[in-house]
Amino acid sequence: MSGGEVAGLVVAVFWAVLVAFLAMVLIRLSQALRQATRLVADVSEQAVPLLAEAAETVRGANLQLARVDEITANVQDAAANANALSSTMAATLGGPLVKLSAFSYGVRSAVAKQRSAGHPERLLPESTEREAIARLVRAEVRAATAPRRGLLGLLRRRTRR
């Protein structure tokens, strides 16, 4: 055997080993691709129902949000109505309370002037009448300035915070 024949034989063996190695690599690569294909198929089979369930859940959440929006709008209208009612009640009751205060101030001033004039017995009511009037005035002032415990008072306290 000559040197060229040995070199040719070495090259042929090298190519045979290389082809065998590449064949094994290709076989393993094809197995990996088959497993990846199966994995993708399995994931897509499970993902489609999950996506359908997620879409249904989102639709349900949107319906609930629409209901909450309606409730919020109704509560806002109720709060506005309560505020208007409160303003109306304050205007309705505030006027007479101011008049009552002015009247009691006038009575006190007149009584003080009468006392200072030296004739306290003329226009002064009897002691029991004076006490009854004082009790009535105090009761009216207490009722007008007392904290409101009803729904309207609760709404006022909550809106002030």
Q: What pLDDT score does 146 carry?
A: 66
Domain that holds residue 146: 3-160
CB 133 within 8 A of CB 125: yes
- Which residue type sits at 50? L
Q: What pLDDT score does 122 carry?
A: 53
Per-residue confidence of the chain (161 residues) as pLDDT tens digits? 788 899 999 999 999 999 999 999 999 999 999 999 999 999 888 888 899 999 999 999 999 999 999 999 999 999 989 888 888 877 777 777 777 888 888 888 888 777 777 655 555 455 677 787 888 888 777 776 766 666 666 666 667 65
CB 119 within 8 A of CB 39: no
Q: What pLDDT score does 64 carry?
A: 94
CB 120 within 8 A of CB 114: yes
Q: What pLDDT score does 10 carry?
A: 93
**Total count of domains within the chain:** 1
Query: Which residues fall within 8 angstroms of residue 146, CB to CB, at 6 or more apart?
Result: none
Q: Compute the distance between CA of residue 77 and CA of residue 85 in angstroms, rounded to an integer.
A: 12
| HEC letters along the chain | CCHHHHHHHHHHHHHHHHHHHHHHHHHHHHHHHHHHHHHHHHHHHHHHHHHHHHHHHHHHHHHHHHHHHHHHHHHHHHHHHHHHHHHHHHHHHHHHHHHHHHHHHHHHHHHHHHHHCCCHHHHCCCHHHHHHHHHHHHHHHHHHHCCCCCHHHHHHHHHHC
